[in-house]
Amino acid sequence: MDAKIVIKDFNLYYGKKQAIEGFNLSIPRNEIFSLFGPAGSGITSLLRAMNRLSDLTPDLRVEGDILLDGKSIFAPDLSMTALRRRVGMVFDVPTPLPLSIFENIAYGPRLQSKKSKAALQDIAEQALRAAALWEDVKDRLQAPAMSLSGGQQQRLCIARVLALQPEVILLDRPCSGLDPISTAKIEESLIELKKNLTVVIAPHSTQQAGRIADRVAFMLLGKLIEDGTSEDVFMQPKDQRTNDYITGRFG
Amino acid sequence: MKKFKEKLSGLAFLVLALSSISVLLLITVFIVVQGASSIGREGLLNFVFGMKWAPSQDIYGIFPMIVGTLSVTLGAAIVGVPIGLCTSIFLAEFAPPFLRNIFRPAIQLLAAIPSVVYGFVGILFVVPFIRNFLGGPGLSILAASIVLGVMILPTVISICEVSLLSLPRQYKEGALALGLTRWQSILHVQLPAAKSGIVAAIILGIGRAVGETMAVIMVVGNATAMPESILDSVRTLTTNIGIEMGYAFGEHQEALFATGIILFVMIMIINGLAQSVVRRKSK
């Protein structure tokens, strides 16, 4: 297996409280990888650690390592902005910036390097197409992003990350609170996206994990219980706790 | 019986609430009644745009004072707003908790210092400094701008800080997750998002500067002539009333009330602006 991300003996603490414990996991390239488990399992903490947004939380401490293409993301000489461009993130609530639709997307690439207006138009169109939003907004790119519906806003956030051409995209319950049609559109675009990048998603339901993920990992109380291909984990779970969770006996 | 009590308590609160509103009404009516006859006699245009204020000759023109008020207020904004805004960004985004815990109460204390003390410090330090290094009498627009600029800091800082802190966390995180630096996030995302709060803070600070009297009397020189540079003495609308009301009577006193009307209108406009900006924010 060609691993894009390797998590090694990873521990994460909020003050004295341990949120992730002895975590080891490999996430392969160009696949959709789904981390699932009940709330409070440390999934969000783990995702936030992968592009070091966790640094914003005071009193947060990590041990162990996370490797991206074999290099530690905790290396002291690593540029935080470069890391976050390589590893993009989409949050559970849509977070468009208070700008126009076009500006939301053009904004990141423009800061990255000087680009002509035409190039930015191109980038925006590609990103919006990839996030299945282009048809909805092509006639009103200058409208404020806040005027979009919740599902459209979330696809805009995905497009915004894609415009930076990341290698990995992290999605933290991106479809919670969205209607089934928006959810289906986002799932379709994720399946399309894995050709070019690695997708790590915390789904809002185990069904979603089953629908789109190539591999899954079940987490419980900050520990990895088991991981493997979706078929293996969902059809023949090795661990009793995984079985209980996916058959709905708890959680 | 119970119903009666309910009604009575409701009535009591209504009366108390009305009493605070009625004070505003009383003041407005009082000033207008006292001052209107003066404006009527002089003519509104002659009064507002008159260049000469000579109560002994019954000549009342307040244009130099309007210019004085505007220039001192603008100066205070130029001094106070950049410092205040930068301080609030520092407190909201960069300051470690222990520094924040020192800064916040210190800034609140700044608001609690009586304005006469600001004037005193201005006379002792700011005025001689300007006189010695820049020339002129020292008592000047510049001196008042500096003193007022410091006085509006608490207003500007605390409202700016609150509007920055009340932004959804996702704005900042979303920006950082796009690979922006912290500074880019503040400049391009957080400040624009907090814009209406910041504008409201500036307008409220300006409102405070327009209305301040005591500290300004002490450092502005109070000359009634039209100023030619920021090193000249001026008189503001508030200081005009503050200085002369003690001994004025008759037409002179009415002219001071008329000055109050103009000041009142200016402050109403500023407050109205602030409220419309804040309302736009909450939409």
pLDDT tens string B173-197: 888 888 788 888 898 888 988 888 8
Rounded to the nearest angstrom, the minimum Cα separation between B159 and chain A is 20
The answer to whether the CB of B26 falls within 8 A of the CB of B33 is no
Strand A168-172 relative to strand A198-202, pairing: parallel
Question: CA of B179: which chain A residue's CA is closest?
Answer: A81
pLDDT digits (tens, 9 = 90+) for B93-147: 888 889 999 999 999 999 999 999 999 999 999 999 999 999 888 899 999 999 9
3-class DSSP assignment, residue A23: strand
Rounded to whole angstroms, how far apart are CA atoms A200 and A27? 8
* Residue A196 clears pLDDT 60, i.e. is over it: yes
B188–A contact, CB cutoff 8 A: yes
B254: left (phi > 0), else alpha (psi -120 to 50), else beta? alpha
Domain ranges of chain A: 3-93+163-246
| Long-range contact pairs involving B268-276 (C-beta distance under 8 Å, separation at least 24) | B270/B203, B270/B206, B270/B207, B270/B210, B271/B207, B273/B203, B274/B200, B274/B203, B274/B204, B274/B207
- Taking an 8 Å cut-off on Cβ atoms, the answer to whether A84 and B188 are in contact is no
Q: Does B170 touch chain A (CB under 8 A)?
A: yes
| A-chain residues near B171 (CB < 8 A) | 95, 97-98
Say yes or no: A13 contacts chain B, CB-CB below 8 A.
no
One-letter identity of residue B177: A
Residue A109 pLDDT: 85
Q: Which residues in B lie closer than 8 A to residue A93 (C-beta atoms)?
A: 170
Select from A58, A97, A112 the Cβ nearest to the Cβ of B174. Answer: A97
The stretch A175-185 carries a mean pLDDT of 82
AA identity, residue A156? L
In tens, the pLDDT along B140-167 reads: 999 999 999 999 999 999 999 999 999 8
Strand intervals (E) in A96-197: 168-172
Beta-carbon pairs below 8 A across chains A and B: 57
Q: Quick check: B173 and A56 CB within 8 A?
A: yes
Position B255 scores a pLDDT of 92
pTM of the predicted model as reported, rounded to 2 decimal places: 0.76
Domains defined along chain B, listed by start? 53-282 (1.10.3720.10)
- Using an 8 Å CB-CB cutoff, list chain A residues near B170: 91, 93, 95
State mean pLDDT over A90-112. 84
Q: What is the pLDDT of residue A119?
A: 85
CATH annotation of A3-93+163-246: 3.40.50.300
Judge whether A56 is closer than 8 Å to chain B, CB to CB: yes
Q: Which residues of A touch B193 (CB under 8 A)?
A: 97-98
pLDDT of residue B82: 95
Q: B21-46 pLDDT, tens per residue?
A: 999 899 999 999 988 888 888 888 88
Distance from CA of B87 to the nearest CA of A (A): 21
Q: Suggest the residue from A50, A81, A172 to mutate for an interface test with chain B (most B CBs closer than 10 A).
A: A81
Predicted confidence (pLDDT) at residue B283 exceeds the cutoff of 50: no
Token pair of A107 as six digits: 């904004």
